[in-house]
Structure 1
Amino acid sequence: MRSTEQDVQWSAVASDIGPLLLVATGTGLVSVIFHARPAVRKKALEQLGARLGSAPVQAPPGSARLAAPIRQFAAYFTGELRAFTLDLDWSLTSGFNREVLRELACGVPYGTVVGYGDLARRVGQPGAAQAVGAAMGSNPLPVVVPCHRVVESDGGLGGFGGGLETKRRLLALEGVLPQPLF
């Protein structure tokens, strides 16, 4: 799929929710991985290399490919950025999942939440709340494509690939939940 190993670059960045692994292709940001400590990072990069057809390489300092994602994530976590404006590479998702994730990215702004069933209705599949949950679980671009903003209809948080504490912290950052006490 990709022509050279240089086509996929990665960088690990610190954040308020722990280290994040940002991975980009020439098309745009393709993956965001939570809790990207060395062992998690190594495994994620191996899996991404297999899926993308090219082993990701660490971005050189000042990489143009990752400069905007790094800058925008820093601004998001300081409360200065409410909407990411990044080029995205959607190649790791397709079909229904991609449709749901695109609707989420465009239709659920900072500081708001949506129910799994509501999101299913928005994409014309009113009975597909569980499938929406599966789409959230397969989201390759969390935070940028804000799956943390999808909650249960009864007010419960629902699941989250980065862990419920991470989801709580992201929703608190956006003013949806009170800030954690600790």
Structure 2
Amino acid sequence: MQIEILVGLIGFSGAVVGAGGALLGGWLQQRHQVAVAQEQQEAARAGLLEERGRAAGEKALSELYALRRHLKDCELRPVPEERQPWRGIARGFIDEAELAVMLMPNAAEVQSRITDAAGLITETLVIGREEARQMTDREHVQHVHRCLVGTLEAIGALSAFMRGDPLPEPGRLLSRYIAQNPRIARSS
């Protein structure tokens, strides 16, 4: 073979190898850029999810503290006029808190605990109007106290969760309620 043809073939081979290397490098760079973009999207999504979860947790805590203040105002009879009917108002606060907690991602344990505390509270709140009228002052105070205990249980569990601490053990009253009202799938 003539030297010019051999040099031409070597040059052509070099060009093919160079072009292949450039294509391979471009492809690898594009794959890397796509992977980095996906990681950034996932990080942004996780940040947004965490932000939404925190906002939902703060809303739930706000509702629970409002419930606690409301119950404190209703401890003694007669219940102030602006707090009537106090049970309906309390039910609204606990429903809003429970709803906000259910919107929190990766929070199954605290959601279960809040559901239990909400059950304790609402079980106490759901009585007939006539039964409520016939309650003695002592029974009324016991009902309000039971609601307050459930509220404080919920506040303690949610606060610990939001700080990143382990959830505290349920108190005596909530433990008794949980034992009497078992659910099929309990996380706590």
Fold conserved between structures, TM > 0.5: no
Q: What band does the TM-score fall into relative to the shorter chain?
A: under 0.3
Higher strand share: 1
Normalising by structure 2, we get a TM-score of 0.24
Specify the structure having the higher radius of gyration (Cα). Answer: 2
Normalising by structure 1, we get a TM-score of 0.24
